[in-house]
Each structure stands twice: as structure tokens, then as C-alpha cells.
Chains A and B, each alone.
Chain A
Amino acid sequence: MGTNTETPTPRAPEVPRPGAGALRVILWLIFVGVIYVYGWQVTQINLGELGRKAYLIKPLANDLIRPDLIERRPRLQVADAGIGLDGAAAPAPLETRGPGRITLSPTQAAIGARVTVSGEDFAPSRPVDIIWFDQSGVKVQLTKASTDASGRFQAAVTVPNVIGTMHHIMAEVGLEGTTLGPSNALRLTLFRMVETVFLALMGTTMGVVLAVPLSFLGAKNLMARNPIGVFVYYVIRTVFNIARSIEPLILATVFAVWVGIGPFAGVLALGIHSIASLGKLYSEQIESIDPGPIEAITATGASMLQVVRYAVVPQIVPPFIAFTIYRWDINVRMSTVIGFVGGGGLGFLLMQYINLLQWKQAATAVWAITLVVAAMDYLSAVVREKVV
């Protein structure tokens, strides 16, 4: 630099008056102290309650380590026969389990009529439940019987007062012993688990598909070339910021009112939030790309689209994938709780079990949530390592 002849005279550092600094520190400490004392009161912190009321949490804690996974069920032989009312033809028989068969006489009847149920080829000397299986799926026990030494039985029943014309009569013959199988809670949980994973998938996909084009409109370096572009940029960014500041749980509440309680409301809530979050991240990524290649490709006489394809896209695709996986992670987590406000998935099931005080079943759902989140965490880590 220029001829540096004058050396700056070092100035004496300012010495604060003793005591002034200390007083300020004390005032600050008092101020902070007041804030925390008020905070302690207003949030009703009471550590003693944790010990005194431990008995309330005990059943839940106990059930958490004993989730409802399997159940014992009676072993049954089942046979079915259709019956037509009011002149309708008898429908074809449905479920059968085991070798037994039943026949009805007559196979067409009216409400209040007597029908004879004859069974054969069942297990000998076992109790039989004769059940009316309604058109709408409701099962009502009509009578009991038992099989004779050769596995036959006969019983007379009265057609109950039902709606519709095509019904079934079933015979359930109880065998000795029981079978182990997945519990109803487990089966429901697995079903909801799949729903949860797909809820996150659809929400994330909706976010990506819309955020990618919008993010280009929200990138200042691409848009700030003319007044219209600047206007679009500000509109897009404002929409992103507003949409992003609304929690998915609140969005899910709104959409549950709009499209009804269920996974679709959850997809919309996660989707909208993902558009905004991903859009902002994508836009910022586009803004931070190296302008050098853009300049170089422009200088070759390439068109605007070619510049984007050759200078912009190669710089943004890997980070876009990383952001998308990150969002997928968040959405899986989110989709497990979004059910609490009507967004479907595992959360919906968990809330039902908690409201019914079915702690063992709730425990099943809680474990499923943990499992899904951990598995998706692991999966996304693997994918990220491979792709980015």
C-alpha cells in the first residue's frame, strides 16, 4: 500500500471506574433471577409431584413393557350357510374352517320363521354356537347346541328381526385348547404403521414436486433481473415464510375439518409445510451456487434454459437430495403424532387407545412409533450416504 510514514500513536485503553461494572453485573443477575422465579411459578413446576403421584403412572409404565402383541384364541371349526329372506335366493356360503358342513331347512324364510340347522363332519362331543351373520357384518348368537359322538348336530332357530334379504347362519364348534396369534391391537397397529409411512411419503412427495419449481421463482439471483421477477420473488418468499410458520399440527386440524379426519388430511398438512420448508432451503441453495459456471455457459452462447441445465442443475441436485431426505425424516416423525389432531396414521390409533384407557394397546402403538422412526432414521442415513 502507499507510503506508510506515520505510525499511529497507541492510545491508552479505557479503564472503567472500579465498581461500575460490578454493579451492572449484579443488576443483570437480579433481572435474570426475577425472570426465572416468575417462570417457575407460571409453569407450576412442582418436583415433589413426580414422587408423590408416581402411583398414577405405574400402570402405564408397567403396560409399556408388556405391550399387547399376541393373544390366545379358542380353536374353532366354522361352517356357514346362506339364507334368503322375503323370497330372495340364498347367498353362497362364506367362511369355513375345518371339515364341517351345515345345511339349512328351508334355505328361504321370513322373519320369525323356524329354520332347522343340521351339521355334520364336525369334531365329536363339542359345544356349538349357532350365529346369525347379518348383511351389515353384525354377528348375533342365536342358540347353542353340541355335536354327538359322530360329529353331527341339529338345532332349530328363529329368524331374527333383521333388515335386508341376504344373510348367513354360521356354526362355530369349539375345540379343545387355544391358539396363539397376533392380537387385534397388533394387527391394527401394523396397518396404521403402513399408513404412517405412506403418509410421510406422500406428504414429502407433494412437498418436493411443488417446491422444486417454486424454489426457482424464489431465488433472488435468478429473479432479480427485472421488476416483475423481483415482485414474484417477494411474493413466493412471503408465501414460503407464512406457510412455514404454521405448524403441521395446526394445518392438520384445519384439513381434518376440510376433508375429514383421516390420512388425507395428514398428507395435506405435511405437504403444505414441506413445500414451504423445502422451498426455502432449495431457494437458498440456488442462491448460493457458484456464479462462475453460469457466466461461462452464458458466454458460450447458450440459451437461458441451457444455462440452467448445465450450470445450475449440476450444482443443486445433490444438496436438494440431502434436504429432501432430511425433510422425509422430519415428516416420518411428524406423521406419527399428526393423528392426534385427526391426521390419520399411528397417532390416531394411539389417541384412541389412550382415551379408552387401554394401556397395553397404547403401548403397542408407542412401540410401533418408536420402531418406525428408528427404522426410517436408519434408512435415510443409508440413502444419504449413498447419494450425497
Chain B
Amino acid sequence: MRGAAVRIENLTKIYPDGTRALNGVSFSVAPGEFLIIIGLSGSGKSTLMRCINRLVDPTSGKIFVDEVEVTALPPDGLRRVRRQIGMIFQQFNLVKRSPVITNVLSGRLGYVPPAWSLYNYFPRSLREQAVAHLATVGIPEKAHTRADQLSGGQQQRVGIARALMQDPKLILADEPVASLDPATSHSVLRYVEELNRRDGITVMCSLHFLSLARRYGTRLIALKAGEIAFEGLPAEIDEQRFKEIFGEEAVEVEIA
């Protein structure tokens, strides 16, 4: 499998209340890259992520995923692009009352005939695939547990399995480990890294922690107040550089 290429041109998002979340952001992501987007809270990381699959509609600018202009797609075409883009969330965003397997299978909804969904029907092959994806993230035995019975790390792994169910070319991970403790953070990110290395899936991942960013990223973008403040290799950014970009106050909170 080959990962998707992403190109972003002059992307701007102004929310109805006047907040300028993104201001003329342009960059490209090559297939198979593990791009880290780093920045403080409110720097526009989440907005950037959500613009790519248009959970948030940008105010201006263009986004291309594999040369398809996402920003110009009608609803049908948008759904076809979305189903190839897996998304992982800070709050996991699982349906808590549903069993794990249903949460994983819901990643396939963009492909199955809509009539199946009324009866919550998925063919056996998809069910087996879902369990296989759960095995990939190390929790095959949790398939029939209710999602809210799992620990945070386990829930995020269900989130990854749900994204895998989409056969994604691109994974958007929006602060995937911000709600997890350091040890669990590493285990979750290692799964994402494995998908990136083994299957060549392009990953765009926003993070709070510089240490994690330098450990997992193949390239890094730093956002500050909706603009790109740094773009380069993770090795090129050290604490000194980080402080220059974000100021002294970022140190304690962000580099733990």
C-alpha cells in the first residue's frame, strides 16, 4: 500500500467569532512521511487537521490529497475522500455504550451499502477483519467489551483499529496521546509508527511534547498563532530552538 501525498496551499481559517485560527499556511507532505505538527494550545493544530478532511471548512486556500482538491469536492466526492483518511482523536471519540467491535466496524461505514447500517449488519469477512485489526493493536480479546469499560490507552487503540478499518492512505492523529500517561503514549505512538513504516501510510500527527515529536517524526512543522514558525527535521529542533519559537513559558508545560 502506498500512502497519500498532501499539499496545502495558503490555507486560512477564520471562525465566525473572528478568531483567525490559520493564516496562510502552505506545506506539502510526501507519501509515507510521519509529519509531526507541534504547537501550543490554540496554535491551530486541530483546525489544520480538521480542514484536511473538512470536518472544518476552510475560509480560503486549497488542500490536495493525492492531487484531488478536497476543498472543491461536492458531498459525495468528499465522503469518498474521507473514507481513505483515518482520524484519531485526543478524546478517542468512541461510542461509549457500543461494543468495541461495533466501534471498529464503524470505520467501514463509508464503503458498505447504507441499507446495511440500519440493521447494524456487517458481513463475516469484515467482522473478521475488525478482530484482526484489534489484534494488530494488541487487544483482540476486547472485541465484545463495551467501549467505556476500557482504559484510556485501550480506547485509543480501538480508535486506531477503527482508522485501520478504512484502509487509509493517510492518518490524521489530532493530539492522540494528550489524554494518556507517558508510558501509554509511547505504546500508542509505536502502533501508529508501525503502520507508517510497515504499510507506508502517510501520518500527520499533532503533539504537545517535543520529546515525543523528536522520537517519532520524520519531519516536523511548528505552528504558532496559525502560522508556520518552523519546518524541518525533528533533529534540527532542540529545546533552545523551541524556546526561541514559543517563548520561555512553553518550557515547563510542553517539553516534559
- Does A368 touch B at the CB level, under 8 Å? no
State whether B95 touches A314 (Cβ < 8 A): yes
State whether B82 touches A314 (Cβ < 8 A): no
**Of B2-10, B14-22, B110-118, B132-140, which binds chain A?**
B110-118
Distance A295 CA – B89 CA, assembled complex (angstroms):
9
- Does A293 touch B at the CB level, under 8 Å? yes
State whether B55 touches A300 (Cβ < 8 A): no
Q: Which interface residue of B98, B106, B159 has the most chain A CB atoms within 10 A?
A: B106
State whether A292 touches B91 (Cβ < 8 A): yes
Selected from B98, B109, B120, B172, the residue in CB contact (under 8 A) with A301 is B109
State whether A301 touches B82 (Cβ < 8 A): yes
Given contacts A300-B109, A300-B166, A301-B83, contact A293 B114 (CB under 8 A): no
Q: A311-335 vs B: 1/0 string, CB under 8 Å? A: 1001100100000000000000000
Interface residues of B in 171-216 (CB under 8 A from A): 172
- Does B80 touch A at the CB level, under 8 Å? yes
Q: Tell me how far the C-beta of B3 lies from the nearest C-beta in chain A, rounded to whole angstroms.
A: 18
Could you jot down 15 A-B contacts, CB within 8 Å?
A: A290-B96, A292-B91, A292-B92, A295-B93, A296-B93, A296-B159, A297-B95, A298-B82, A299-B87, A300-B110, A301-B166, A306-B114, A309-B117, A309-B120, A310-B117
- Does B39 touch A at the CB level, under 8 Å? no
Residues on A lying within 8 angstroms of B by beta carbon are 1-2, 290, 292-293, 295-303, 305-306, 309-311, 314-315, 318
State whether A310 touches B109 (Cβ < 8 A): yes
Interface residues of B in 75-114 (CB under 8 A from A): 79-87, 89, 91-98, 102, 106-111, 114
State whether A303 touches B114 (Cβ < 8 A): yes
Distance A296 CA – B86 CA, assembled complex (angstroms):
9
State whether B162 touches A293 (Cβ < 8 A): no
- Does B154 touch A at the CB level, under 8 Å? no
State whether B162 touches A300 (Cβ < 8 A): yes
State whether A292 touches B114 (Cβ < 8 A): no
Residues of B within 8 A of A309 (CB): 117-118, 120
Residues of A within 8 A of B94 (CB): 293, 296
State whether A315 touches B162 (Cβ < 8 A): no
Residue pairs across A and B with CB atoms within 8 Å: the count is 85
Q: Tell me how far the C-beta of A224 lies from the nearest C-beta in chain B, rounded to whole angstroms.
A: 12
Distance A303 CA – B106 CA, assembled complex (angstroms):
12
Q: Which 10 A-B pairs have the closest CB atoms?
A: A301-B110, A301-B83, A292-B93, A302-B109, A301-B82, A296-B93, A299-B87, A301-B79, A293-B95, A306-B109
State whether B117 touches A299 (Cβ < 8 A): no
State whether B97 touches A314 (Cβ < 8 A): yes
- Does B23 touch A at the CB level, under 8 Å? no
Distance A318 CA – B55 CA, assembled complex (angstroms):
28
- Does B67 touch A at the CB level, under 8 Å? no
State whether A310 touches B106 (Cβ < 8 A): yes
Q: Which interface residue of B79, B95, B107, B111 has the most chain A CB atoms within 10 A?
A: B95
Selected from A1, A290, A299, A310, the residue in CB contact (under 8 A) with B55 is A299
Q: Tell me how far the C-beta of B175 lies from the nearest C-beta in chain A, rounded to whole angstroms.
A: 13
State whether A296 touches B79 (Cβ < 8 A): no
Distance A39 CA – B89 CA, assembled complex (angstroms):
60
Given contacts A2-B249, A309-B117, A310-B106, contact A300 B95 (CB under 8 A): no
Q: In terms of DSSP, what is the predominant structure of the interface of chain A?
A: helix
Residues of A within 8 A of B165 (CB): 300
Residues of A within 8 A of B172 (CB): 299
- Which A residue sits closest to B52, measured CB to CB? A299
Distance A309 CA – B98 CA, assembled complex (angstroms):
12
State whether B114 touches A299 (Cβ < 8 A): no
Q: B244-256 vs A: 1/0 string, CB under 8 Å? A: 0000010000000
Extra contacts, 19 of them, besides A296-B94, A302-B117 (Cβ < 8 A), are A292-B92, A292-B93, A293-B93, A296-B159, A297-B95, A299-B55, A299-B82, A299-B87, A300-B162, A300-B165, A301-B110, A301-B166, A303-B79, A305-B114, A310-B98, A310-B106, A314-B95, A315-B95, A315-B97
Distance A3 CA – B237 CA, assembled complex (angstroms):
25
Selected from A298, A302, A303, A318, the residue in CB contact (under 8 A) with B97 is A318
Given contacts A303-B114, A310-B95, contact A297 B82 (CB under 8 A): no
Residues of B within 8 A of A310 (CB): 95, 98, 102, 106, 109, 117
Q: Tell me how far the C-beta of B158 lies from the nearest C-beta in chain A, rounded to whole angstroms.
A: 11
Residues of B within 8 A of A297 (CB): 95, 106, 109
- Which B residue sits closest to A296, measured CB to CB? B93
Q: Tell me how far the C-beta of A133 lies from the nearest C-beta in chain B, rounded to whole angstroms.
A: 60
State whether B117 touches A305 (Cβ < 8 A): yes
Distance A305 CA – B117 CA, assembled complex (angstroms):
9
Residues of A within 8 A of B71 (CB): none
Q: Tell me how far the C-beta of B24 lies from the nearest C-beta in chain A, rounded to whole angstroms.
A: 25
Residues of B within 8 A of A295 (CB): 55, 89, 93
Distance A309 CA – B94 CA, assembled complex (angstroms):
14
Q: Tell me how far the C-beta of A127 lies from the nearest C-beta in chain B, rounded to whole angstroms.
A: 72
Q: Tell me how far the C-beta of A314 lies from the nearest C-beta in chain B, rounded to whole angstroms.
A: 5
